[in-house]
A and B are shown apart, each in its own frame.
Chain A
Amino acid sequence: DTGVSQNPRHKITKRGQNVTFRCDPISEHNRLYWYRQTLGQGPEFLTYFQNEAQLEKSRLLSDRFSAERPKGSFSTLEIQRTEQGDSAMYLCASSLAPDLNFNGYTFGSGTRLTVV
Chain B
Amino acid sequence: GQQLNQSPQSMFIQEGEDVSMNCTSSSIFNTWLWYKQEPGEGPVLLIALYKAGELTSNGRLTAQFGITRKDSFLNISASIPSDVGIYFCAGSRGGAGNMLTFGGGTRLMVKP
Contacts and interface: CB of A to CB of B under 8 A. Distances in A.
Interface residues on A, range: 20 to 34
Interface stretch (B13-21, B60-68, B97-105): B97-105
Contact of B1 (A55, A58, A95): A58
B102 A43 contact: yes
Nearest to B105: A42
Interface residues of B, number: 29
B59 interface: no
A56 B99 CA distance: 9
B43 A43 contact: yes
A102 B45 contact: no
Interface string B86-99: 00101010101111
Nearest to B1: A44
B63 to A, nearest CB: 13
A59 B1 CA distance: 9
A63 B72 CA distance: 36
A21 interface: no
Contacts of A109: 40-42
A4 B92 CA distance: 21
B3 A107 contact: no
12 contacts: A9-B40, A41-B3, A41-B105, A42-B4, A45-B101, A101-B48, A102-B31, A102-B48, A102-B50, A105-B100, A109-B40, A110-B41
Given A31-B97, A55-B96, A91-B43, 9 more contacts: A40-B105, A42-B3, A102-B31, A102-B92, A104-B48, A107-B42, A109-B41, A110-B41, A112-B40
Interface of B: 1, 3-4, 6, 31, 33, 35, 40-45, 48, 50, 88, 90, 92, 94, 96-105
Interface of A: 4, 9, 31, 33, 35, 40-45, 48, 50, 55-56, 58-60, 91, 93, 95, 97, 101-110, 112
